[in-house]
Amino acid sequence: MRAIDRLPPTARGIVYMLLSTLAFALLWVLIRIASGRMDTLLIVFYRTLFGLLFMAPMLHRRRRAVFRTRRRGLHALRAGTGLLAMYANFFAIALAPLADVVAISYATPLFATLTAVLFLGEVIRARRLGALGFGILGMLLVIRPGFESLSEGEIWALGGAVFMAGSVTAIKLLSRSDAPETIVVYSYILTLPINFAIALFVWQWPGASDLLLLAGIGILANMGQMMLTRAFAAADVTAVLPFDFVRLVLAAAFGAMLFGERLAWQTVVGALVILLSAVYLAHREAQLGRRRTPILPAGPGV
């Protein structure tokens, strides 16, 4: 990482964004493979467990400061919506083509904008409204309603984007008073017992190879989050966010090579339209001083 940190800020941000897209694409491949060996409910539990273990050294170093908060109720809301988003996304990855799930996940900032308008009283003016409508048209291209029925996996992916929007809104409020590490840690410690209780209904002890697979899921999820955070810390969001499209390219490539999936042109065009809409919304919000960077669906949702 030292070589990357010596790069100019924008170049550093782009490199970290590209690394995050690779980590998330590989993560989704491992989730798809694991879903063929065990129940998705079990995968979610182990993803949370290994993700928390990955953070253990940081928790040990900052054990006092990281748990300091006065907004436990809001942390519970963030954890709950994030948990629902995680379940929905994991089911989507197991059932739908990877590229389709990625494309639909790009809609999270659109739903988050609607959530902010409905629940936070934010005012949406003509330009943001136009970008929002543009993004919704892109989402309709991906799911193609009226031409063919939605698959179960696509329904789960839409649910994941909606729940993730609620989680993004809670994170936006929490970030005004709490450190990012505090937000992440509380999401883990609040959801891990729930995930364990749910996993008991389908419990099976993983073998050695499955355990390595599950550990890889937890580690890649955290690495993707970390790279994404560094990307936005290094450069302006409008400089790095367009490179998240590489995540779709990688997901489509892995889906074709490993699972025989075919990529429809509507998915590519729709995903590009949604992402461009998200970039513009982020640009407008930065201009208006609401927040410097958006939170992408790929991070908290997995």
Amino acid identity at 38? M
Query: What pLDDT sits at residue 260?
Result: 93
Whole-angstrom CA distances from 275 to 96, 132, 281 are 20, 11, 10
Query: What pLDDT sits at residue 198?
Result: 96
- Which parts of the chain register pLDDT below 70? 1, 145-149, 285-301
End-to-end CA distance of the chain: 23
Query: What pLDDT sits at residue 71?
Result: 85
Contact 172, 301 (CB under 8 A): no
Q: What is the pTM of this model?
A: 0.88
Query: What pLDDT sits at residue 80?
Result: 94
Helices first, then strands: H and E counts in the chain: 14, 0
Contact 251, 98 (CB under 8 A): yes
Contact 21, 246 (CB under 8 A): yes
Query: What pLDDT sits at residue 295?
Result: 43
Query: What pLDDT sits at residue 298?
Result: 41
Amino acid identity at 4? I
* φ, ψ of residue 146 in degrees (nearest 5): 90, -25
* pLDDT one-digit tens code per residue, 277-295: 888 887 776 666 654 444 4
Beta-carbon contacts of 275 under 8 Å, excluding residues fewer than 6 positions away, are: 106, 241, 242, 244, 245
